């Protein structure tokens, strides 16, 4: 639950909380966003020790108590679903274009029972005239971290954040100028778990492992089918997960990979077309997120002749540090 | 459970069973596919009174016993999932192009414990060289009925059968020449029930009813968004069900209608593009299925400037009669 990762970061300056739906992660941070210590708990906002405000108080005290006992005056920031309508306090979405200074200007603020103030990062809304609105909460903090740690991206980049709700985020001059959400991960999960498509999916027999080459071939088959698809075809292509299984052309062991390829391929088809439409030359494309998922996206992108400029891991701690700095609270500490 | 619908059909000639996953419907039929009586039970193949063959025997005896007591020598046919790998006996898919004579040539055959033979309709597989295979089971019987009852469609038509797995079926010279399945209904169901999209959906307060004009407007908004979409966009558009709800631009009462419009619109975008690609002039388009669902499809088609040539109800009894006739069993009766 704890691990010293950066003694060079010196004395603690900040407690940063990445507080999502299903987990709470805390970072004890020193100068230059160095991580001195970290702790995690399962107290996501939908899994608090008790309902409502007291639940947030208790989860916070349980995670950060050991740090605060030693450094009682450390400032605290939090980002993620903790700032949603179901969170500790709602920090309403700020509109695009938005940079970390804008996030700081619209920080939410909660005061604990013992008088401590915590600043909470707002989400971001993109609300173009010609399309439905889109929202993010948590990703804006990861982006702030990615741009601070990789200054070359700040001028112009497209950041893809694969996941339950993948985000495609356009960056210009350090600001989030536009973004699109794709429900790729959630559609994969519900179709696998709750639709007929899961019925033919199998797992390797006890003591054996999946064949990586067969899984990769099925994944690529899905990506290529999606790449050649036209508008509306996904609802038809999904059924091929069943028919390729029924006719034994794909083993039940790789139907998940094929479905994953179909869905990621659909996301890339749409996302890349939109990028190409919005500018003559593609911006550098960066992937942020879980290693394994980013690798799948990189594999799929190769089939579109696209190479990501970088794959970044968890940039949330760095982003929370930049957010705290932008609020001015680190000067006061 | 019983109702005399056609005394002009004269003496009974056939018992026809429409035996699906969740229900079993029996029809006592006279000449020219006239329905003399009908009975139904909940003994679909996944809801039998006991597992395996004895379950099929018992469900059959319970439904048809009263008829067979009076007319013990009536021939019996069945169609639908009863002929699947999980059915009473598997009647393997016959390849396209297929007409009712081809279905009859490949009928499955099961003999009950008391020596009665029941013929079971096979499904159909479309297996083009340049695309994944597609399968149907049950719809081929509805199509046989539709074509027999509406001879003008037999020369050339496109039959759309909305549902859990919508079918788009091309007909030429009384044969099924090609078809595509769209998982529209199932995606609607799982996204509504199991994804985040259902969270903001609400129902009218007790004692009040939904506003039909608002529901229609939301449905059409979804259809039009889908109509303007490009390849891969669905995974992004799905998220607008959430954001339009979050921002209160659509009431929770009509989010289901909007999602329905998005999905049906995606299906129509793809299906109509494929029809237009395959011939210079669109064939007559016929809808077969549940009244309410067919009305939604007709409404959506109007936004594509398409008018269906007909909306047909349940053509399965007629199709089972044509199937029985094609096997020759009615002559022997």
Condensed to tens digits (0 to 9), the pLDDT of residues A64-120 reads: 999 999 999 999 999 999 999 999 999 999 999 999 999 999 999 999 988 999 999
Nearest in space to B242 (alpha carbons), one of A271, A198, A123: A123
Domain with CATH 3.30.420.310 in chain A: 184-312
Chain B: residue nearest A222 by CA? B132
Name the segment(s) of chain B with CATH classification 3.30.420.300: 14-143+316-331
Nearest chain A residue to B231 by CA: give it.
A231
What ipTM does the predicted assembly reach?
0.94
Fold for the domain defined by B184-312: Nucleotidyltransferase; domain 5 (3.30.420)
Fold of B14-143+316-331: Nucleotidyltransferase; domain 5 (3.30.420)
Task: Give the residue carrying structure tokens 């939090």.
Answer: A78
pLDDT digits (tens, 9 = 90+) for A306-318: 999 999 999 999 9
Report the distance separating Cα B121 and Cα B98, nearest Å: 12
**How many CB atoms within 10 Å of residue B150?**
16
Of A236, A243, A273, the CB nearest to B231: A273
List of chain A residues whose C-beta atoms are within 8 Å of the C-beta of residue B263: 235
How many angstroms away from the CA of B36 is the closest CA of chain A? 36
Query: What value does the mean pLDDT of chain B take?
Result: 94
pLDDT in tens, A164-181: 999 999 999 999 999 999
**Hey, how many other C-beta atoms are within 10 angstroms of the C-beta on B190?**
22
* pLDDT attached to residue A280: 86
Kindly report the nearest CA distance between residue A153 and chain B, in angstroms. Answer: 25
Chain A CB contacts of B271 under 8 Å are: 232
Q: How far is A115 from chain B (nearest CA, A)?
A: 32
Across A8-70, where does the E strand assignment appear?
Answer: 14-19, 24-29, 35-41
Q: CB–CB of A270 and B235 under 8 A?
A: yes
In the three-class reduction of DSSP (H, G, I as helix; E, B as strand; rest coil), residue A255 is classed as helix
- Sequential DSSP letters for B120-183: E---EEE--TTS--EEESSHHHHHHHHHHH-HHHHSEEEEEE-STTEEEEEEETTEEEEEEEE-
A57-74 tens-digit pLDDT: 999 999 999 999 999 999
HSE at residue B297, side-chain half, CA atoms within 13 A, is 30
Candidates B63, B1, B61, B6; CA nearest to B30 is B6
Nearest residue of A to residue B182 by CA position?
A: A236
In CATH, which superfamily holds the domain spanning A7-138+316-332?
A: 2-keto-3-deoxy-galactonokinase, substrate binding domain (3.30.420.300)
* CA atoms of B274 and B169, how far apart (whole Å): 12
A8 touches A300 (CB < 8 A) = no
| Residue range(s) in chain A whose domain bears CATH number 3.30.420.300 | 7-138+316-332
Q: Which residues of chain A does B229 touch, with a Cβ-Cβ cutoff of 8 Å?
A: 231-232
Spatial contact of A144 and A319, defined as CB atoms under 8 Å apart: yes
Confidence of residue A332 (pLDDT cuts 50, 70, 90): low
- pLDDT of residue A205 exceeding 50, the answer is yes
Chain B positions in Cβ-Cβ contact with residue A180 (cut-off 8 Å): 236
CB-CB contact of B134 with B125 (8 Å): yes
* Chain B residues closer than 8 Å to A231 by CB: 229-231, 233, 266, 269-270, 273
Q: Name the H helices within chain B.
A: 52-70, 100-105, 139-149, 151-154, 184-194, 212-227, 234-246, 255-278, 291-302, 316-327, 329-332
pLDDT 10s digits, B69-125:
999 999 999 999 999 999 999 999 999 999 999 999 999 999 998 899 999 999 999
- A4 — pLDDT class (breaks 50, 70, 90): very low
Contact: B231, A235; criterion CB under 8 Å: no
Chain A residues closer than 8 Å to B247 by CB = 125, 127, 133
B332 confidence band (pLDDT: 50, 70, 90): low
Residue B273 tokens read as 């593009």
**CB B183 to CB A195 under 8 A?**
yes
CA distance A144 to B148: 66
Which residues are bridge partners to A26 per DSSP? Answer: A17, A39
A14 contacts A330 by C-beta, under 8 angstroms: yes
Cα-Cα end-to-end distance for chain A: 26
Q: Tell me how far apart the alpha carbons of residues B180 and B184 are, in angstroms, rounded to a whole number.
A: 12
pLDDT of A190 strictly over 90 = yes
Chain A CA closest to residue B236: A182
Question: Residue B270: which of A132, A187, A236 has the nearest Cβ?
Answer: A236
Residue B10 distance to chain A (closest CA, Å): 43
Q: What is the CA radius of gyration of chain B?
A: 21
The β-bridge partners of B27 are B16, B38
With CB atoms and an 8 Å threshold, state whether B239 touches A196: no
Are the beta carbons of B225 and A263 separated by less than 8 Å? no
Residues of A within 8 A of B184 (CB-CB) are: 235
Residues in chain B closer than 8 A to A225 (CB atoms)? 132
The first and second tokens of residue B326, run together, are 């094609």
Q: Write the CA distances from B327 to A60, B108, B120, B174, integer angstroms.
A: 74, 11, 10, 17
Other beta carbons less than 10 A from residue B69's beta carbon: 8
The pLDDT, as a whole number, for residue B207 is 82
Q: Is the pLDDT of residue B4 over 60?
A: no
Q: Take residue A49 and report the two structure tokens written for it.
A: 């020790």
Report how far residue B22's alpha carbon sits from residue A31's, in angstroms, rounded to the nearest whole number: 64
Interface test with A, best of B161, B163, B236 (most A CBs within 10 A): B236
């Amino acid at each position: 639950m704890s691990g010293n990762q950066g003694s060079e970061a010196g004395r603690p300056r900040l407690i940063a909380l990445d507080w999502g739906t299903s987990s709470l992660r805390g970072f004890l941070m020193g100068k230059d966003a160095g991580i001195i210590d970290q702790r995690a708990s399962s107290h996501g906002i939908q899994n608090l020790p008790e309902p409502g405000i007291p639940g947030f108080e208790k989860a916070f005290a349980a995670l950060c108590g050991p740090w605060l006992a030693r450094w009682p005056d450390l400032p605290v920031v939090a980002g993620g679903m903790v700032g949603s309508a179901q969170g500790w306090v709602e920090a309403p979405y700020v509109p695009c274009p938005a940079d970390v200074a804008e996030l700081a200007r619209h920080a939410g603020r909660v005061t604990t029972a013992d008088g401590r103030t915590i600043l909470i990062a707002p989400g971001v809304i993109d609300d173009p005239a010609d399309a439905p609105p889109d929202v993010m909460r948590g990703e804006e903090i990861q982006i702030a971290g990615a741009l601070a740690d990789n200054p070359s991206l700040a001028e112009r980049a497209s950041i893809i954040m694969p996941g339950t709700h993948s985000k495609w985020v356009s960056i210009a001059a350090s600001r989030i100028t536009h973004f699109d959400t794709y429900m790729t991960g959630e559609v994969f999960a519900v179709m696998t778990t709750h639709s007929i498509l899961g019925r033919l999916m199998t797992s390797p027999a006890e003591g054996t492992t999946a064949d990586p080459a067969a899984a990769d071939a099925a994944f690529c088959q899905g990506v290529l089918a999606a790449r050649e698809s036209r508008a509306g075809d996904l609802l038809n292509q999904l059924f091929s997960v069943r028919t390729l299984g029924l006719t034994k052309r794909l083993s039940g062991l790789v139907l998940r990979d094929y479905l994953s390829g179909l869905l990621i391929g659909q996301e890339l088809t749409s996302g890349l077309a939109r990028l190409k439409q919005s500018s003559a030359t593609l911006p550098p494309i960066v992937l942020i997120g879980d290693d394994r998922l980013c690798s799948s996206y990189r594999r799929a992108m190769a089939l579109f002749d696209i190479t990501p400029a970088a794959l970044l891991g968890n940039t949330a701690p760095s982003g929370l540090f930049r957010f705290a700095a932008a609020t001015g609270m680190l000067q006061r500490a």
